[in-house]
Amino acid sequence: MKKWLTIFTALLLTSALFAQKSWTYQDCIDYALDHNLALKNVEYQVLRQEANSKSAYGNFLPDLNANTSVNISQGRTTNPNTNQIIDSDPFLSNSLGIRSSMTVFNGFRLQNQLKYEKYRQMAVQNNYQKAINDVTYLVMDAFIQHLINLGLAAIQQEQLEASDKEVFRIKKRISLGLASGSDLYESEAQLASDEFLLIRMQNAANISENEIKKLLNLPVDSTFVPEDIQVDPSAEPLSITEAEQNPFDIQKLPEMKSSVARFKAAQRQLSMIRAFGQPSISAGFGWGSFFTETRTDANENVIPYSEQFNLNSNLSYGLSLNFPIFNRLNQWNSIQQSKISLAEAENDLRIMTRDTEYLINEALLDYYGVMAEYKSAIKTEESRALAFEVIEKKREKGLASIMEFYQAKNDLAAARGQSLRTRLQLFLNKKLIDFYLNGTF
């Protein structure tokens, strides 16, 4: 009863799945790039750096500030017209001014800061592209792993059905006196083992489904139905000889572009910090005026507001020179720290170049290794299928033992599982090779 309940549940789930939307691996990638939460954080870094770059442009512009104040003074105070100390009743005063300043020269610090921010922007933009590639690969890897788990569960389901069929056949032969009880015990043990393996593989499929739904940011209780992927084993993207004659251009890869941009940013940062020790020139401009009730005409009448602002108007402009002499070795320390950062960025670039070359070589080795495994797995599966067909016919005629039957059955299941795994792994490896050729998935 238990095994029939398991089969019925599997069929029920299968029929429910057919009613759901199926996902291709490209559907998954497109959806993940729009909804993956980790990718959103990298996108925010790009937006933040874009703001920093715009701010660096703004440093070339003059600033402009306006100020005004309203005061009521009484008692012993200063007359704003004569600057004499007086004893006065409460009187109103109002001032208004505009100030503007602009950096004329500061050792090219602003120019280097602008280039520094632009290189940092290039770095984070390529980091974002790398994050897109990482999410794409993770989704493809999770998608393929889920297909493998589903395929292994389907193969094991067929194994279970074959074992159940054998138990039924042995019971019938026992009733006719053509088989012994030991065969029944062996077949029931195999049935129980197949049930256990099916449950374990179904659990693995549930876990891999949960993983890909997490990458896609789908609801936990949603249903995910993947479409299978077919691979043409004869379609090789690049032969080993071609790979040697036409080496991969690693400079296309976003991680390499990002590393180069960080190195150039470190160079500009050193130039920018050195400029702090250079003389700087700035220009300033100001205008102001004020009104006070203490300013009167010959008849002791307060001069009107607009007339006072014309009378009290003042204008100032000029240049200022600042020459740093000694700042307690802060400038020296900043330069030394910047030199170290530049050396680190250069070393990181070397490490990235070396690691990328090894990753490409590893991808090629994996691809051709899996290609050979897949071709061998296809041949093995075909041979195992023929062997099982022969054993099954002999078993029906009583010419093969139950152990021979189960050995052939298990060998066929293992060969089918290996063919499934290598077929899907070959697809993933091919995509990785294409990525290293083009710099993007």
- Torsion angles phi and psi, residue 286, rounded to 5: -150, 150
pTM beyond cutoff 0.85? no
Rounded CA gap, 121 and 215, in Å? 27
- pLDDT tens string, the chain, 441 residues long: the values are 344 334 434 444 444 444 467 999 999 999 999 999 999 999 999 999 999 999 999 999 999 999 999 988 877 777 777 777 777 778 888 999 999 999 999 989 999 999 999 999 999 999 999 999 999 999 999 999 999 999 999 999 999 999 999 899 888 888 877 777 888 898 899 999 999 999 999 999 999 999 999 999 999 999 899 999 877 656 555 555 555 555 678 898 999 999 999 999 999 999 999 998 899 999 999 999 999 888 888 788 888 988 988 888 999 999 999 999 888 889 899 999 999 999 999 999 999 999 999 999 899 899 989 999 999 999 999 999 999 999 988 888 878 888 899 999 999 999 999 999 999 999 999 899 888 888 888
**Order of strands, sheet of 280-292, starting from the edge strand that comes earlier in the sequence:** 63-78, 85-105, 280-292, 314-322
Sorted by where each begins, the domain ranges of the chain are: 2-35+106-278+324-438, 61-104+283-323
Q: Which CATH class is domain 2-35+106-278+324-438?
A: mainly alpha
Rounded CA gap, 221 and 226, in Å? 16
Quote the Cα angle for 409-154-410, to 5°: 15
**Tokens describing residue 204:** 């693995």
**Tokens describing residue 79:** 């007359």
